[in-house]
Amino acid sequence: MFNRSMTTGEGPRRGRGRPRTPGAEGKILAAALAEYGEHGWAGFTMDAVARRAHVGKSTVYLRWPDKDALLTEAVTSRGLELAAVDTGTLEGDLTQLATNLLRHFHSPAGWAGVRVTFDTASAPERLGNFAEAVIEVHGRQVEQICRRAVERGEMIESFPVGALTEAIYGAAMINALSERLEGRVDSDADLETRARYLVAMVLRGIATDSAVS
């Protein structure tokens, strides 16, 4: 995303000089994520990251131009992974997706991803790449689930996918947020229960006259 080795084979450089230490990227990103998790944004220090990764500051600054960039990529590379889902039914897909999301947002890396997403959204001048990555990774998922559901006739055709996406992602995010605000620690079972309720709601609604089964 920032370091040259990612933008492959474009420049005139062909391996002149000492190559960049292969493991360095990973060590630094891991250290960054760990520091961020332990001390938060205000206590996130480049010196500490370098020290923890057993790496000089120059090695860090050769790869990322500044603190924001490092943190953003640390989160992008490890805080945006989401397994694909395909169970055969709409309810199954959505329940699986919601569970995955809840687990993701409750995990340190996932939560870090959330924070950086909001920071990025608040400072649009820097790093629009991250925004695109988020949209790419997460936007597709619900879209595909809905397409398959419509093909199977399980879903109202005309319903805007965006609203569904927002509700599910938003609910999972808020759930993770409130866990932290209230000092709760939700178990895996709690998350699954919450996921089922959420899916029940978006599938069949909460109004009494829509409760069919």
Which residues lie near a copy of itself (CB under 8 A)?
Answer: 39-43, 67-68, 90-91, 111, 114-115, 117-124, 128, 131, 134-135, 153-156, 159-160, 162-167, 169-175, 177-178, 180-183, 194, 197-198, 201-213
Q: How far is the CB of 203 from DNA (least distance, A)?
A: 46
Q: How far is the CB of 209 from a copy of itself (least distance, A)?
A: 6
Q: Does 54 bind DNA (CB under 7 A)?
A: yes
Contacted by 185, from DNA, a copy of itself, none: CB < 5 to 8 Å by type: none
Q: Does 147 bind DNA (CB under 7 A)?
A: no
Stretch that binds DNA, among 50-58, 93-101, 145-153, 203-211 (CB under 7 A): 50-58
With beta carbons less than 8 A apart as the criterion, state whether 27 and 53 touch. Answer: yes
Q: What is the rounded CA–CA span in Å between residue 30 and residue 28?
A: 5
Q: What is the CA 9 to chain-centroid distance, rounded?
A: 28
Q: Does 115 bind DNA (CB under 7 A)?
A: no
Q: Does 9 bind DNA (CB under 7 A)?
A: no
Q: List CB contacts of 119: < 8 A, sequence separation 6 or more.
A: 41, 68
Q: What is the rounded CA–CA span in Å between residue 50 and residue 100?
A: 32
Q: What is the dihedral of CA 157, 161, 166, 169, to 10 degrees?
A: 90
Stretch that binds DNA, among 51-59, 86-94, 183-191, 204-212 (CB under 7 A): 51-59
CA-based nearest residue to 40, from 98, 112, 92 = 112
